[in-house]
Amino acid sequence: MTTATTGTAAAKAGGNAGKPKPATMAQALQRAMRDAMAEDPTVHVMGEDVGTLGGVFRVTDGLAKEFGEDRCTDTPLAEAGILGAAVGMAMYGLRPVVEMQFDAFAYPAFEQLLSHVAKMRNRTRGAMPMPIVIRVPYGGGIGGVEHHSDSSEAYYMATPGLHVVTPATVEDAYGLLRAAIASDDPVVFLEPKRLYWSKSDWSPEAPAAVEPIGKAVVRRKGTGATLITYGPSVPVCLEAAEAAQAEGWDLEVVDLRSLVPFDDETVCASVRRTGRAVVVHESTGFGGPGAEIAARVTERCFHHLEAPVLRVAGFDIPYPPPMLERHHLPGVDRVLDAVARLQWEAGS
Amino acid sequence: MDSLQQRSSTVQEPPGAVTAHRHTPSPAWQPRTDPAPLLPETEPLRVLGTDAVADADPALLLRLYAELIRGRRYNAQATALTKQGRLAVYPSTTGQEACEIAAALALEERDWLFPSYRDTLAAVARGLDPVQALTLLRGDWHTGYDPHEHRIAPLCTPLATQLPHAVGLAHAARLKGDDVVALAMVGDGGTSEGDFHEALNFAAVWQAPVVFFVQNNGFAISVPLAKQTAAPSLAHKAVGYGMPGRLVDGNDAVAVHQVLTEAVARARRGGGPTLVEAVTYRIDAHTNADDATRYRADGEVEAWRAHDPILLLERELTERGLLDEDGRRAAAEAAETMAAELRERMNADPVLDPMEIFSHVYAEQTTQLREQAAQLRAELEAEGEA
């Protein structure tokens, strides 16, 4: 990707939405920050390259120009320092929104995240909340070299004190980010980078209402089995559900949107209706998010299940080189294979 | 700025060039900052026992003395409480009281202190209730006070991670137009951590009103400074960040107070951060779990006892006729009263509500936590009935 062309493209598409035209997820995210910054002077955006460049994915494009470098700040290149400084800023009443350029680049900041961001409210018995949003472009599928395609959500999910959310649609990108910035608790905001350029007719001029964090949504109604998924795997599951119709399978697709807190109610209501479930994500399977989700569903819906809860996940390998990533990422066929293993003849 | 890029372009010979190896002149390079004014003193600054002490305010000297006596007694009492099992652990600052007290007294009320786990004494000198300062070490709650009340961040157990917090807070205060300074305390071991580097770098780039205060007490648990760093001094590290480094005798309360007061004032007027290294010594072991005889000689400890911060100040006060036997007794009695009260209050068992462990994880409890809270409540009720 050449920065010049992407920059120009983003500049053309963003900002002035005079004529209604499809908006991208990146534009919706940018709009969410812009609206939050305009409404609340305590909201500060910071990170490496977020200012003049507008972020390597142009998600923060124009914010420094509009709000000044004190509100949208290019920091030194140091993730622990970025997040550690954000902790101090939150202590003084600001609401920092920090960008961790790429998933695997966030790891140096883990000590600040785990030891302070996640625990400060608890350590101080509620006296010091941490209203920080940590934006992390995550996941593969864009041909990135190593350390640019990790799905780190299991680490974040395993840390009490953090909220973990991830949008799959342009509308949710706006709504969830607004909700995350408004939250008095820290939110790890996972942005599926291969969906940055996905589009919808969402209008930046009339943004949808902000929904509270923690609600899953049924993206497709079905009766035969539930695909439980989130983020970059949502479009995969929707496509699989369409293809499954040819096999006579009517699949429901639940988009979690929020991994923490987890919406047991929506997920389990769906599984009880359908009696079968497959969890789909591109993160690794062993000890991954699907392990927790499958266990929760089994504990709560065992007597409604016609088959074991299956997982379709990335392989348990370090993220593969870009030329091989299509073999690792769960695609439509792998989802359909799992659905086929749900012992259809035994149940319905 | 661009010199690296330009320089690298000059090493490529133009294609087809057959002339003898001939460099084009390299673009002019200048250091970004003159390093000379940033360099620390050649040896730790001392005021006590020198002519400079004549300028010291007698009221300040007496205040420092009373606080040092109280601090020494606090260290002794808290150490005794660990032996009685009332404290899980206590990292003593015996021998380092001058650093702790001078740090607290160098700040204005509106300023913030970012202490490490060893800096209970600085927090108490800043006005924190002595019992609240021990909450973490007692195992009661992680932080026993509202940090906003005295502007003292939670005592920080991971090393150096509180330093970027100090930078962020000071930066935020300046953005809001408040002339607040943050004082961040760290030990010599903590200077090896990555967060130390990142905090100093951020502070210098942002010109944040922060003072970094290193108490070099000789050891990180058992590891001596020589195995911690190859720098000429810890204060020398400042030059690499573009901030001044100051080197001070950490057992000279007046010198520490002077250097920190200057650094705080400099930060407050927009002059940016300073790194201060106080050279001191940890007379006690790291904690009650440590055996200091395994890694240091008695002779070394004795030499530092002769350079005791209370001794140095007492000598000065006595020579100037500011302190007599009555004054000594009054300070000792005040310290004893504090210790007796601390003992008495610490001997009462804290009353804890187990259900509170669920209360502060999130602003609003998640469904999952509500379920777990219900489980614990049922267990507690069953215990009560048994």
Query: Using 50, 70 and 90 to split pLDDT, how confident is the model at A345?
Result: low
User: Is A189 touching B (CB cutoff 8 A)?
Assistant: no
Q: What average pLDDT does chain B have?
A: 93
pLDDT reported for residue A6: 35
Q: Hey, what are B260's tokens? A: 């920190």
Residue A211 has pLDDT above 70, yes or no: yes
Q: Distance (Å) from the C-alpha of residue B378 to the closest C-alpha of chain A?
A: 20
- Asked if pLDDT for residue A313 goes beyond 70, the answer is yes
**Separation of alpha carbons B40 and B33, rounded Å:** 15
Catalytic residue from among B46, B63, B295, B343:
B295
Q: Which are the catalytic amino acids of A?
A: 148
Question: Beta-carbon neighbour count of residue A251 at 10 Å?
Answer: 27
CB contact under 8 A, B141 and A88: no
Contact B216/B278 with Cβ under 8 angstroms? Answer: yes
Q: pLDDT class for B17, splitting at 50, 70, 90?
A: low
Is A127 an 8 Å CB contact of chain B?
A: yes
Strand order of the sheet with strand B112-114?
A: B112-114, B182-187, B210-216, B274-279, B245-249
- Cα dihedral angle (A10, A16, A22, A25), rounded to 10 degrees? 50
Of A87, A115, A161, the CB nearest to B168: A87
Residue B278 has what pLDDT? 98
If you average pLDDT over residues B38-53, what whole number do you get? 96
Q: What backbone phi and psi angles, to 5 degrees, belong to A138?
A: -135, 165
pLDDT digits (tens, 9 = 90+) for B301-314: 999 999 999 999 99
Write out the H or E segment, with its range, that includes residue B300. helix B298-305
ipTM surpasses 0.95: no
| pLDDT value, residue A205 | 72
Q: What's the mean pLDDT when you consider all of chain A? A: 92
Q: Is A68 on the interface with B (CB under 8 A)?
A: no
If you measure CA to CA, which chain A residue comes closest to B370? A261
Q: Is the CB of B321 inside 8 Å of chain A's CB atoms?
A: no
Q: Is A261 on the interface with B (CB under 8 A)?
A: yes
Residue B9 has pLDDT above 60, yes or no: no
Reply yes or no on whether the pLDDT at A189 is more than 70: yes
Name the residue of chain A whose CA is nearest to B206's CA.
Answer: A75
Over the stretch B133-156, which tens digit does the pLDDT of each residue have?
999 999 999 999 999 999 999 999
Arithmetic mean of pLDDT, A274-287? 97
Q: Is B7 labeled as catalytic in the residue annotation?
A: no
pLDDT (tens digit per residue) in B236-274? 999 999 999 999 999 999 999 999 999 999 999 999 999
Whether residue A262 and residue B368 make contact (CB cut-off 8 A), yes or no, is yes
- Rounded Cα distance between B98 and B253, Å, is 5
Residues of A (1-40) whose Cβ lies below 8 Å from B: none
pLDDT at B4 over 50: no
Q: Is B147 on the interface with A (CB under 8 A)?
A: yes
Is B148 part of the contact surface with chain A (CB cutoff 8 Å)?
A: yes
- Using the predicted structure, report yes or no on whether residue A18 has a pLDDT greater than 90: no
- Which of B143, B158, B201 comes nearest A111 by C-beta? B158
Label residue B386 by pLDDT band (50, 70, 90): confident
For residue A213, how many C-alpha atoms fall within 13 Å in the half-sphere facing its CB?
31
The DSSP symbol for B152 reads B
Asked which of A116-120, A134-138, B14-18, B292-296 is least confident by mean pLDDT, the reply is B14-18
CA–CA min distance A186, chain B (Å): 9
pLDDT confidence bin for B8, thresholds 50/70/90: very low
What's the CA gap between B301 and B372, in Å, rounded?
52
Per-residue pLDDT, averaged over A294-311, amounts to 97
CA-closest candidate to residue B93, choices B66, B112, B115? B115
**Chain A nearest CA to B55, separation (Å):** 37
Token pair listed for A315:
């392989």
Q: Is B74 a catalytic residue?
A: no
Contacts of B159 (CB under 8 A, 6+ apart): B116, B186, B187, B189, B190, B193, B195
Host H or E run for residue A220: strand A217-220
Residue A37 scores a pLDDT above 60: yes
Share of chain A above pLDDT 90, in %: 88
Q: Please list every residue in chain B whose beta carbon sits closer than 8 Å to the beta carbon of residue A76.
A: 198, 201-202, 205
Q: What is the mean pLDDT of residues B113-127?
A: 97
Helices (H) then strands (E): counts for chain A: 13, 14
SS3 A323: helix
B141 touches chain A (CB under 8 A): yes
What residues of B are in contact with residue A92 (Cβ under 8 Å)? 168-169, 172-173, 176
Q: Which residue of B lies nearest to A85 if distances are taken between CA atoms? A: B168
A295 touches chain B (CB under 8 A): no
How far apart are alpha carbons A46 and B164 in whole angstroms?
Answer: 14
CB contact under 8 A, A81 and B182: no
Interchain pair B201, A184: CB under 8 A: no
Report how far residue B69's alpha carbon sits from residue B336's, in angstroms, rounded to the nearest whole number: 10
Alpha-carbon distance of A14 to A27, in angstroms, equals: 6
The verdict on whether B295 is a catalytic residue reads: yes
- Smallest CA–CA distance from A161 into chain B, residue: B361
